[in-house]
Amino acid sequence: MNTEGSKPKLVFVGNGMAGTRTLEELLTLTSEKYDISVIGEEHIGNYNRIMLSPVLAGEKTIENIILNDDDWYRLNNITFYKGEQAVAINRVKRLVTTSSGKHIPYDRLVLATGSTPFRIPVPGCDLENVLTFRDIKDVNRMLELSRHKQHTAVIGGGLLGLEAANGLRKQGMDVTVVHAYDSILNRQLDKTASRLLQHSLEEKGIRFLMNAATESIAGNDRNEVTRLDFKDGRHLDVDMVVMATGVTPNIQLAKSCGLQTDRGILVNDVMQTFDPAIYAVGECVQHRGQLFGLVAPGYDQARVCANHLAEMGIARYIQKALATQLKITGIHAFSAGQFDNVADSEEITFFDGQLGHYKKLVLVGNHLVGAVLYGDTQDGGWFFELIQQQTDISPIRDQLIFGKDFCQWPEQASNHLPEAA
Amino acid sequence: MANRSTCAYCGVGCGIEIHTNADGTPRVEGDFEHPANFGKLCSKGSTLAHTLTDEGRLLHPMINGLRASWDQAVSYVANGLNRIIQEHGPDAVAFYVSGQLLTEDYYVANKLMKGFIGSANIDTNSRLCMSSAVAAYKRAFGEDSVPANYQDLEIADLIVLTGSNTAWCHPILFQRIKAAKLQRPDMKVVVIDPRRTATCEIADLHLPIKPGMDVALFNGLLGYLHANDKIDPDYIAAHCEGFDGALASARAEGDLSRIAARCDLSETDVATFYQWFAAIDRTLTCFSQGINQSSQGTDKGNAIINCHLATGRIGKPGASPFSLTGQPNAMGGREVGGLANQLAAHMDFDEEDVAKVSGFWRSPNIARKPGLKAVDLFDAVAAGKVKAVWVMGTNPAVSLPNAGKVVEALQKAELVIVSDCIETTDTSTYAQVLLPAAGWGEKDGTVTNSERRISRQRGAIAPAGEARQDWRILTDVAAAMGYGEHFPYKTAADVFREHAQLTTLNRNSHRKLDLGALDQITEAEYNGMAPVQWPTLPNIDSQRLYGDGNFSTPSGKACFIAVRCQGVSNPVSTEWPLALNTGRIRDQWHTMTRTALAPPLNAHKPEPFVEVHPDTATEFGLENNKLAHLQSPWGQAIMKVNVTDSMRRGELFVPMHWNDQWARGARIGELVNPSVDPVSGQPESKHTPCKAAAWQPQWTAIMLSRENLPLPKCDYAAKIRGQKFYRYELAGTGSTEDLMALAHKLACTEAKPSIEYRDSKNQNIRCAWLDQQGLVTCLYVGPGSSGIIANADRNWLASLFDKPALEPVERKALLSGKSPAGVEDCGRTICACFGVGEKTILKAIKQHNLTDAADVGKRLKAGTNCGSCVSEIKNLLQQAG
């Protein structure tokens, strides 16, 4: 299988969160099995991408969010091709060709190519100062512009868009969130939580333009963005735009070497592509029809993939309910599972208007299937566990929404029952 | 300076001292020199100071719902009474008074009605309490005179407590017996009561007798005493009449095994009781409402007295039949004659007595025949024969049997006058004229307790608002009716002096009531008067009566009364299979107008309840702590079930206290059969046939509020006053479709709740309203008998009303209904994914000597999902290390 060394060669394409986690998981299982190489496009060791928002908000520095620095690669005997892009894969010869012309042989290959921010295809979408929010480069650009630009629009009222808006607002900009729907975070929150969140963000000085579909983006003679025009005739004068309207899986490399792809790289339950030597994890994959944009499923996939790379062969990736958490300091919003228009569902709600605390639990039969929390998210993790484990909550239903501390299961509670009066 | 007075509750008549705290609030302590209690007080007496509040007080006269001056009110009453007397005669008016009135009040009321209106239609709620004992004493001794005193409780060798839950109803006497029994363990106590009450704590023998069978049991005893030569033939011969007839009657009840079977008691137990009674000379038989409130209450009293007469045990140290009265001044009322079948000062309606009293009062118009007794009186009101009724200090709409009919009667009467210290009672609702009476802490006068001891009640505080002493109100009305010269009283002492003088008319008769030494009492002497037993004559030992065998009858001999057990008047049947018993509980008094104001008293038994034996509960599908619907041919009620094996099978016990001010659906008087004792007129409140079934509400609710909210008009409601809050236990029928609308209605607010909880499936709603001062109202309502309602931690919720503001964890916990005690404050959230707080992490680091973030993750999961918090966890590790 290999000609030179005694150990098979394992190559990672991509140095993002899912790829790195796969590597870390593998090293905890076995550090001796492979000669490992990592090809990473960015000029930096791997970092916690989801912490870019606090960096943008000035609450953390890049150093704070580095997960593994160069020493880590060295200490673990990993060959790190930093700042190189994989441009081709020869599956017959089992070689990866990089942007600098290197040919890196592999016995096993892990594709963790991630995704690319989606730019809405309207006239002017490629003007100067129309940015996306994906990596350190983007953050640095935004920070730089925020120093001499004043009016910015963030297109997209999803998690990333709101975090970008908050960060830019904290950098002193005048920020308007432009959202195509009537409530922000419409995929993560229900209307009530969304309204509370919008209210909190408005108190921080962020403005909102709802139900606004961008028709075109106009620029000046230096090709710099000046104005957004919407389909309903409204417009907004801006000197910077951040598009946070979703991502597209990076599948070009896989596609060009003949791997089966759809919207993402198709993988089976052990994260193998149609080539048994090639695995894929993270935002670039499509598993059972589903794409992934959050870190948690990426980590789950990493665990499965590492297990198979270590030739233990017992793990299987099963999609689980997802939880999302907004990372804006002082604002707590959480959701998990299904909570909108769930068939045959019942709801438990809690609302403390003065504190701005809102909770909604969605149940089907005796099981929790979804949770939306706003203001007090302390029990989000526990609700998420109950959703994932499909726990029968009927004995604690009356106390459920108040959280784990208030829910004693009957067998525990029996000692504390008051005597009959 | 302490003000010495007398407790306003039961017939023990304990001496109290009313002190004033540094902050001006009153404090009540026991009077160590008072011979009734020697400084001790029960739970009700100890909390008397709570009732010295203006809350709920009637503060000024009202006519037809409008505020009026005293002059207007007095002339309205006087004119109304005069008009009705002119049109329909004196018997068209009636007074219904109370054992809560002082002797002076009673005296003026009695004099006005019998002496000047010229009717004897004045009766008292003592009718419900002790009139059977009165009648029994009169039949046996010729006078309503209790032979014993409280010391006898300590020197008796056998105490028989029959129909008396002494522990709860006369707590200080119970404590005296208990202390004596500790000193002398040989002393025996027998408790005869269908229920195993708290009194049984000190019982050597408990006879759970079948209701209504007391005459059989005591007749059996008389037969046993005779058969075993335990009677005192010399005493009988010298001092008694009618023994043979009584004995024949008694023997006809059957032998011991027959008696035991009829009473549903074990033969051994009955034999033990009879043996003890036969063998022990110093035997004291104490009886109370269990004997009196019966269609054969007088016979029951005489059956008891017969046994004492047969053994010569009357008025001897530690040996007597001893009626324990219910009210603080039931005895005083009887002394002045405040019962329809007495004239005045223990005198009757025979010509000689009428002439004496008429002469003394200078009242040519004096009543010459007995008037209507309580139940008959309200029947006559309902029938339109009595057109005007003046209710003083009592609440017949709650306390009389078949109370629904009383309400009807009050609605029908032309003129209803209520003098009371409380503004809203179930009775005052129907009054045209409301007259504010001074409350117990404001009144001056005397009361007589169960041992014939007259004690002063001394006002400690000024009357609330425009309230006046009852005797003064009556005096003013008498003057306005045109009898001013006969009612010249300026002070309570003036009234008392006249009353004492009237009793001296008994001096040369066979009667014992004579307050001779007090008939010239001065104002100063009256004010300083120490507790004294009557008769109050020089050189007469008034500790006990009839010890010399010289009775109050014309012949001087006591009378045996031949009685036969008749059972109850309305026995249980297939349709009405259960026997309803009613009575007092430890910490409430009568209709709760005062005790419900004292938060500590509301904690013992906060809600109206029905006690039932476990087997009976199973048979009728009743569950502990759930609601039951009770029904008798006369009315219905809903209350909480309390399953207890202290009950006999097939019987129910319900407290008499609850009414429409503090509860809905719990007025047990509505169910009680209106049958009365033919001699005494006392109702049979201890036995009503009824049925019971589980009551399934459409919804239940618990609400606590800082505000005194009106009691909702739902099927079941109980309002409980706490220190700084009111608690409402509620249940109802009707639509549960819009529980939020119901919540707003119950909480009496249109405001949106500050916090709300909804469960779409259980339609379970919980709401809380808060303001700057903290919690205003919290409310939990659910369909059926929802678990959250039953399980809400009422004590914890109550404690929140003491706080100026809720802690965050309390606020979060509030609508869970559960205390967050034991819930740790986990501090600022560090790991948002798993909800792990700063304090939790620091604790784990210290406890397990964790050194890196991965260890923290393994233990607490913190940082193992998105990893955003790992750097903060590292900081905490540094901080801890």
What does the pLDDT look like over B648-674, one tens digit per residue? Answer: 999 999 998 888 788 888 888 889 998
| Residue pointed to by tokens 């100067």 | A128
pLDDT band of B546, cuts 50, 70, 90: very high
| CA nearest to A335 within chain B | B833
Rg (Cα) of chain A, in Å, rounded? 24
**What's the distance, CA A95 to chain centroid?**
30
- Quick check: B815 and A350 CB within 8 A? yes
Rg (Cα) of chain B, in Å, rounded? 31
pLDDT band of A419, cuts 50, 70, 90: very low
- Neighboring chain B residues of A325 at a CB cutoff of 8 Å: 832-833, 866
pLDDT, tens digit, 9 for 90 and up, residues A26-84: 999 998 899 999 999 988 778 888 889 999 999 889 888 888 888 999 999 999 999 99
Is B813 touching A (CB cutoff 8 A)?
Answer: yes
Nearest to B598 by CA among B43, B15, B40: B43
Residue B540 has pLDDT above 90, yes or no: no
Per-residue pLDDT at A418: 38
| Dihedral of alpha carbons B381, B387, B390, B395, sign | positive
| Two tokens, residue B120 | 């004897």
Is A348 touching B (CB cutoff 8 A)?
Answer: yes
- Quick check: A378 and B871 CB within 8 A? no
The helix (run of H) or strand (run of E) holding residue B254 is none
- Quick check: B760 and A352 CB within 8 A? no
Rounded Cα distance between B348 and A54, Å, is 99
Q: Which long-range contacts (CB under 8 A, 24 or more apart) does B197-200 make?
A: B197/B165, B197/B167, B197/B168, B197/B646, B198/B165, B198/B167, B198/B168, B198/B586, B199/B161, B199/B164, B199/B165, B199/B166, B199/B167, B199/B168, B199/B174
User: Beta strand pairing status for B716-721 and B663-664?
Assistant: antiparallel
In the sheet where A9-13 sits, what is the strand order? A78-82, A35-40, A9-13, A108-111, A278-280
Per-residue pLDDT at A326: 82
Nearest to B443 by CA among B499, B403, B495: B495
Per-residue pLDDT at B379: 94
Q: How far does A380 lie from chain B, in Å, by closest CA?
A: 6
Mean pLDDT estimate for chain B: 92
- Between positions 637 and 696 of B, the ones with CB within 8 A of A are 642-643
Q: How far does B200 lie from chain A, in Å, by closest CA?
A: 20
List the single best residue of B828, B865, B870 to mutate versus A (max A Cβ within 10 A): B865
Q: Which residues contact A286 (CB under 8 A, 6 or more apart)?
A: A249, A261, A262, A263, A264, A265, A266, A267
pLDDT, tens digit, 9 for 90 and up, residues B601-624: 777 788 899 999 999 999 999 999
- Quick check: A296 and B791 CB within 8 A? no
Q: Which residues contact A51 (CB under 8 A, 6 or more apart)?
A: A60, A64, A65, A327, B868
**When comparing pLDDT for B333 and A161, which is higher?**
A161
Contact (CB, 8 A) for B21 and B29: no
Per-residue pLDDT at A2: 46
- What is the DSSP secondary structure assignment for residue B319, as one 8-state letter? B
- Quick check: A376 and B866 CB within 8 A? no
Nearest to A406 by CA among B766, B813, B757: B813
User: Which of these ranges, A144-153, B183-192, B376-385, B587-596, has the smallest mean pLDDT?
Assistant: B587-596
The predicted model gives A10-31 an average pLDDT of: 94
Per-residue pLDDT at B599: 80
| CA nearest to B607 within chain A | A421
The predicted model gives A202-211 an average pLDDT of: 96
pLDDT, tens digit, 9 for 90 and up, residues A82-105: 999 999 999 999 999 999 999 999
- Quick check: A382 and B818 CB within 8 A? no
Contact (CB, 8 A) for A199 and A333: no
pLDDT, tens digit, 9 for 90 and up, residues B276-320: 999 999 999 999 999 999 999 999 999 999 999 999 999 999 999
Per-residue pLDDT at B823: 66
Per-residue pLDDT at A412: 44
- Neighboring chain A residues of B805 at a CB cutoff of 8 Å: none
Q: How far does B399 lie from chain A, in Å, by closest CA?
A: 27
- Neighboring chain B residues of A327 at a CB cutoff of 8 Å: 832, 868
pLDDT, tens digit, 9 for 90 and up, residues A216-243: 999 999 999 999 999 999 999 999 999 9
Find the Cα–Cα–Cα–Cα dihedral A254, A256, A262, A265, rounded to 10°: 0
pLDDT band of B851, cuts 50, 70, 90: confident
Is A352 touching B (CB cutoff 8 A)?
Answer: yes
Q: What are phi and psi of B453, to 5 degrees?
A: -100, 120
- From the list B756, B818, B834, which residue is nearest A381 (CB)? B834
- Quick check: B815 and A67 CB within 8 A? no
Per-residue pLDDT at A404: 87
Is B761 touching A (CB cutoff 8 A)?
Answer: yes
**When comparing pLDDT for B660 and B438, which is higher?**
B438
- Quick check: A348 and B788 CB within 8 A? no
Q: What are phi and psi of B124, to 5 degrees?
A: -135, 160
Q: Which residues contact B574 (CB under 8 A, 6 or more apart)?
A: none
Q: How far does B479 lie from chain A, in Å, by closest CA?
A: 55
- Quick check: B865 and A355 CB within 8 A? no
The predicted model gives B193-201 an average pLDDT of: 95
Reduced DSSP (H G I as helix, E B as strand, rest coil) percent helix, strand, coil of chain A, to 5:
30, 30, 40
Cα–Cα distances (Å) from A222 to A145, A147, A226, B148, in that order, read: 16, 19, 10, 117
- Quick check: A295 and B865 CB within 8 A? yes
pLDDT band of A325, cuts 50, 70, 90: confident
- From the list B625, B787, B866, which residue is nearest A420 (CB)? B625
pLDDT, tens digit, 9 for 90 and up, residues A302-319: 999 999 999 998 899 999
| Two tokens, residue A328 | 């804006």
The predicted model gives A329-340 an average pLDDT of: 88
- Neighboring chain B residues of A54 at a CB cutoff of 8 Å: 868
User: Beta strand pairing status for A333-337 and A151-155?
Assistant: unpaired
If you count residue pairs, one on A and one on B, with CB atoms under 8 Å apart, how many are there? 111
Q: How far does A82 lie from chain B, in Å, by closest CA?
A: 23
All domains in chain B, ordered by first residue: 3-51 (3.30.200.210), 62-129+329-507 (3.40.50.740), 132-324 (3.40.228.10), 578-694 (2.40.40.20), 699-814 (no CATH), 829-880 (1.10.10.1100)
Q: How far does B703 lie from chain A, in Å, by closest CA?
A: 17
Nearest to B810 by CA among B775, B836, B839, B840: B775
pLDDT band of B830, cuts 50, 70, 90: confident
The predicted model gives B239-253 an average pLDDT of: 97
- From the list B818, B826, B867, which residue is nearest A48 (CB)? B867
Per-residue pLDDT at B142: 94
DSSP-derived 3-state class of residue B548: coil
Q: How far does A196 lie from chain B, in Å, by closest CA?
A: 15
pLDDT band of A299, cuts 50, 70, 90: very high
pLDDT, tens digit, 9 for 90 and up, residues B479-501: 999 999 999 999 999 999 999 99
| CA nearest to B822 within chain A | A405
Per-residue pLDDT at B389: 97
pLDDT, tens digit, 9 for 90 and up, residues B113-135: 999 999 999 999 888 888 899 99
Residue B246 has pLDDT above 50, yes or no: yes
- From the list A352, A380, A397, which residue is nearest B755 (CB)? A352
All domains in chain A, ordered by first residue: 9-116+247-309 (3.50.50.60), 130-243 (3.50.50.60), 332-416 (3.30.390.30)
Per-residue pLDDT at B329: 83
Residue A4 has pLDDT above 70, yes or no: no
- Neighboring chain A residues of B823 at a CB cutoff of 8 Å: 405-406
Contact (CB, 8 A) for B324 and B317: no
The predicted model gives B582-603 an average pLDDT of: 79
- Quick check: B758 and A349 CB within 8 A? yes
- From the list A60, A350, A353, which residue is nearest B754 (CB)? A353
Q: How far does A106 lie from chain B, in Å, by closest CA?
A: 30
pLDDT band of A415, cuts 50, 70, 90: very low
Is A376 touching B (CB cutoff 8 A)?
Answer: yes
**When comparing pLDDT for B433 and A340, which is higher?**
B433
pLDDT, tens digit, 9 for 90 and up, residues B261-273: 999 999 999 999 9
Nearest to A166 by CA among A49, A244, A239: A244
| CA nearest to B810 within chain A | A402
- Between positions 53 and 112 of A, the ones with CB within 8 A of B are 54, 60, 64-65, 67
- Quick check: B760 and A398 CB within 8 A? no
Contact (CB, 8 A) for B511 and B534: no
Nearest to B334 by CA among B97, B686, B544: B97
Q: Given phi > 0 = left and psi -120 to 50 = alpha, else beta, which region is B527?
A: alpha
- Quick check: B757 and A399 CB within 8 A? no
- Neighboring chain A residues of B820 at a CB cutoff of 8 Å: 405-406
Residue B825 has pLDDT above 70, yes or no: no
Q: How far does A353 lie from chain B, in Å, by closest CA?
A: 6
| Two tokens, residue A35 | 């000669």
Per-residue pLDDT at A413: 42
pLDDT band of A421, cuts 50, 70, 90: very low
pLDDT, tens digit, 9 for 90 and up, residues B135-172: 999 999 999 999 999 999 999 999 999 999 999 999 99
The predicted model gives B806-833 an average pLDDT of: 80
